[in-house]
Amino acid sequence: MPKASIARHLEIFHDAGLDPSALDLDVCAAFNALRHAGAIDAERPQLLLHGTPKFTKLMLIDQGKPRSIRTIRFSLDAPAQDAPVPAAGSSLVEILSREISRLLLADAAGSSPAHLLLSGEFEDPGIARDLEAATQIPVKMFDLAAAIDPSFAKEGPRPPRLGAALGLALKGAGIDALGMDFRQDEFR
């Protein structure tokens, strides 16, 4: 739906720190790449956390398919101007942990994720360790670059985080796990 048709609704979402107009592109493209590479567990629920420089996207996956998606204006490196300010004694990982809890509480299905799967800006062993400690949910990292080209598993320079870009490239090649219409203007 064109943004102009729902402009006042988008303003309400923006004031709440949500960006529904950007939901589909990054996290769904990353899901496409991760699913194609074998990172998505079709047997057990999992929660994909995809970080971008300004947003965090959470996708609850059940039976290998997205069940719930949420986007928040939040980054672990540099929170956006209108992102929540951490209270004294509160870390950014704790804030993210609370957002994960909110998503899981809002999801009425009742099955907890078997693990968190990190993507994008969150692909970092330190973040994985801190999130696992804060949420008490096992955290998995998947080496997408090595899954695509085993030569990347060797020591040496690593390609930049590539989940969304690879997912879009796969979509362009006709490999589309979700059959979604990535906003064509941005996809091109």
For 7-40, how does the pLDDT look when each residue is reduced to its tens digit (9 = 90+)? 777 677 667 766 555 446 788 888 999 999 999 9
Distance (Å, rounded) from C-alpha 82 to C-alpha 65? 31
7 vs 44: which has the higher pLDDT? 44
Side chain identity at residue 179, one-letter code: G
Q: Which two tokens stand for residue 178?
A: 């979700």
pLDDT of residue 29: 87
Q: What is the pLDDT of residues 71-113, one digit of tens each?
A: 888 887 654 444 444 444 458 888 899 989 888 888 766 678 9
pLDDT band at residue 135 under the 50/70/90 scheme: very high
Strands (E), 17-127: 46-51, 56-62, 65-72, 115-120
Tokens 């107009």 belong to 21
| Those residues with Cβ within 8 angstroms of residue 126's Cβ, 6 or more apart along the chain or in another chain | none
pTM score = 0.75
pLDDT band at residue 184 under the 50/70/90 scheme: low
